[in-house]
Each structure stands twice: as structure tokens, then as C-alpha cells.
């Protein structure tokens, strides 16, 4: 017999989708409410917690509190973020909402600093921050939450890149403009391409690529893009589509076989991605190229 999860008062429905990149835990939450809600937020208390609010239906708004009966001291604003350091109690509150959607990221700042090679102070996450604005961080958390159910191999590099970028925005001091980004050396770029091609179509972590060049992940992403014009995940996806083109032209394999070989979930997923990148379906592209 399965356990019955007891929902907080006036929450009629709740779903949670979870994933992880670079040691950052990502959760997307959706609530259906029937009235005023007030509940303690369950989280790993040894982890720093950041909440991003996405959608609020009704007259109320989702509010993070540090005390049960102490309202958030700052006025509501859309696309707001809330940071809670480790070991801080958090409560969720909403007055008259009917549906709420948000996402949270949780991480150990010290371990994240080590993994991503961040040398600057991380005091930014040592104190709570109420309803602060950072559109870039908010957008990247939203993109991460949208990637939670994406099983495509390229989603690994994509999520790694987003988490590295979030960490850079939160913790690293802004770099002075120097005209153009430093590129990877010819040897390091060759190492990266050889590694990605050898592992295709398997998942590749950004940490693996950055280690080849001895760079932090955020610095590596910038250098790779400066060298190729594409982020690592974009290069990997383009390479998979290029391999699919070769198979379309040089073999009689069906679309499902080509999808399997190039790491797509099925022929439909393959066709949708191929059309998005080339402007034609795989079958139409094959016919056009062979006639």
C-alpha cells in the first residue's frame, strides 16, 4: 500500500519535477490552491536555496517568508528571486491564488565553488535576499526548469552551461571588457572536438570538456563559443544533425534507425529537431539532395 502524501491546507494539487546539473538540484513546483495557504517549505537544510516565481493565477502572489507570521518585507514584483542561506527556515504563503508555478535551485556553495573553479567570495549567498531582481538569473532558472524532462543527450551540456552561468552571475565579479573573448588554443579546441565526436551521441558533462583545457566551466563556455561561434551544447547538437545528414545521404537506413544512431528519442523527435535546424524534414531533405 503506497503512502498518502498529506498536502498543506487549501492546496488541492501539487506536482514536483526534479533534476540535477553540476551538483545544483533543480525542482519545478506547481500548486492548485483553493484559498489562503501557509506551509513550511521542505528542503535540504544544508543547502543554499533560491526560488524563482513563474506564474501566479488569481488575486494573490506566492511569498517566501523566514517566519510563519512575518510577511515578506518587500513589495511584490514580477520575476523576483528569493535567496535563503543554508539552515534557514522558509515558509510559503499566498493569499488568494488559484494556481502557482515556481522553481528552486539548491546547492552547497563550497562544493559548487570547487566544482566550477570559482575563486571569488561567495558572501552573496550568506544572507537572505528578499524579492531581488536579476533577469538573467531568473531566465536561466526558468530555462533549467524547462529542461527537467528533456532526455536528449545534449540536455546534459545545456544544463551544465546554464548552471555554470548562474554561478558566474551570482558569485563572480564582473570582468572588465577586453574587446574580444579569449579563444581556446588550437590544441584545446582539437581536444574538445575529438572528445565530443568520440563520445557521440552519449551525454557529455561540461566539467569533462573544461578539464581538458584546465579552465573553469564558465570560462570554458566563453572560450569555446569565441572559437566556434557556438556554445558546447549547440556544437554537439549540430554535430549530431550533421552525422544524421551523412547517414541520410550514404545509407538506406530508415528514420528510426538514424534517430537511434544519433541519440534522438525517436523518429518524431529527430524529425522535429532536424526541421528546426535545416528548414526541411529528414525525408524531404534526403529526397531533395539525392535528386
Round to the nearest angstrom and report the end-to-end CA distance of the chain: 61
Question: Is residue 154 domain-resident?
Answer: no
Residue 17 binned pLDDT confidence (cut-offs 50, 70, 90) = very high
100 and 28 belong to one structural domain: yes
220 and 261 belong to one structural domain: yes
* Per-residue pLDDT reduced to its tens digit, 25-76: 999 999 999 989 999 998 888 899 999 988 888 877 788 888 888 888 888 8
Weakest-pLDDT range from 4-18, 23-37, 74-88, 114-128: 114-128
Q: 52: domain CATH number?
A: 2.60.120.10
Domain span including residue 288? 178-291
Q: What is the mean pLDDT of the chain?
A: 89
29 and 142 belong to one structural domain: yes
Tell me which of 105, 129, 146 is where a domain ends: 146
Give the model's pLDDT for residue 5: 64
Residue 156, φ and ψ in degrees, nearest 5: -65, -55
Question: Is residue 159 domain-resident?
Answer: no
200 and 121 belong to one structural domain: no
Which of the residue ranges 37-46, 51-60, 102-111, 228-237 has the most confident prediction, judged by mean pLDDT? 228-237
Weakest-pLDDT range from 15-29, 108-122, 167-181: 167-181
How much of the chain exceeds pLDDT 70, in percent?
A: 92
Strands 97-107 and 48-58, how do they pair? antiparallel
142 and 43 belong to one structural domain: yes
Q: pLDDT at residue 177 above 50?
A: no
126 and 232 belong to one structural domain: no
Question: Is residue 167 domain-resident?
Answer: no
CB-count exposure of residue 144 (10 Å: 0-12, 13-18, 19+): buried
93 and 135 belong to one structural domain: yes
Shortest CA distance to 47 belongs to which of 100, 112, 134, 117? 112
Q: 196: domain CATH number?
A: 1.10.10.60
Question: Is residue 136 domain-resident?
Answer: yes
Residue 248 binned pLDDT confidence (cut-offs 50, 70, 90) = very high
Weakest-pLDDT range from 96-100, 186-190, 202-206, 276-280: 96-100
* Beta strands in 158-263, from DSSP E residues, in sequence order: none
**Mean pLDDT across the stretch 237-250?**
97
Give the model's pLDDT for residue 1: 39
Question: Is residue 116 domain-resident?
Answer: yes
- Count of domains observed in the chain: 2
Q: pLDDT at residue 192 above 90?
A: yes
Assess contact for 87 and 45: CB atoms under 8 A: yes
Weakest-pLDDT range from 41-45, 184-188, 234-238: 41-45
Q: In what order do the strands lie in the sheet with 48-58?
A: 11-21, 24-33, 97-107, 48-58, 81-84, 129-132
Tell me which of 102, 124, 146 is where a domain ends: 146
Shortest CA distance to 144 belongs to which of 131, 169, 125, 161? 161
How much of the chain exceeds pLDDT 90, in percent?
A: 65
Cell of 167: 554561478
Amino acid at each position: 500500500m503506497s503512502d498518502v502524501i498529506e498536502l498543506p491546507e487549501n492546496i488541492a494539487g501539487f506536482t514536483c519535477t526534479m533534476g540535477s546539473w553540476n551538483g545544483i538540484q533543480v525542482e519545478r513546483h506547481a500548486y492548485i490552491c483553493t484559498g489562503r495557504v501557509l506551509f513550511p517549505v521542505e528542503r535540504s537544510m544544508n543547502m543554499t536555496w533560491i526560488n524563482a516565481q513563474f506564474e501566479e493565477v488569481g488575486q494573490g502572489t506566492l511569498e517566501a517568508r523566514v517566519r510563519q507570521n512575518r510577511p515578506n518585507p518587500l513589495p511584490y514584483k514580477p520575476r523576483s528571486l528569493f535567496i535563503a542561506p543554508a539552515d534557514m527556515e522558509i515558509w510559503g504563503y499566498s493569499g488568494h491564488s488559484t494556481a502557482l508555478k515556481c522553481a528552486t535551485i539548491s546547492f552547497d556553495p563550497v562544493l559548487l565553488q570547487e566544482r566550477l573553479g570559482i575563486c571569488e567570495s561567495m558572501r552573496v549567498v550568506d544572507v537572505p535576499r528578499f524579492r531581488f531582481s536579476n533577469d538573467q538569473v531568473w531566465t536561466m532558472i526558468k530555462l533549467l526548469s524547462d529542461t527537467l524532462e528533456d532526455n536528449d543527450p545534449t540536455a546534459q551540456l545545456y544544463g551544465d552551461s546554464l548552471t555554470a552561468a548562474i554561478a558566474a552571475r551570482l558569485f563572480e565579479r564582473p570582468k572588465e571588457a577586453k574587446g574580444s573573448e579569449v579563444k581556446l588554443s588550437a590544441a584545446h579546441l582539437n581536444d574538445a572536438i575529438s572528445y565530443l565526436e568520440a563520445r557521440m551521441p552519449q551525454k557529455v558533462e561540461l566539467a569533462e570538456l573544461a578539464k581538458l583545457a584546465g579552465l573553469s566551466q564558465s570560462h570554458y563556455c566563453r572560450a569555446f563559443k569565441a572559437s566556434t561561434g557556438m556554445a558546447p551544447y549547440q556544437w554537439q547538437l549540430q554535430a549530431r544533425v550533421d552525422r544524421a545528414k551523412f547517414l541520410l545521404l550514404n545509407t538506406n537506413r530508415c528514420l528510426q534507425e538514424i534517430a537511434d544512431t544519433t541519440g534522438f528519442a525517436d523518429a518524431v523527435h529527430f524529425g522535429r529537431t532536424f526541421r528546426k535546424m535545416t528548414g526541411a524534414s529528414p525525408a524531404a531533405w534526403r529526397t531533395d539532395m539525392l535528386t
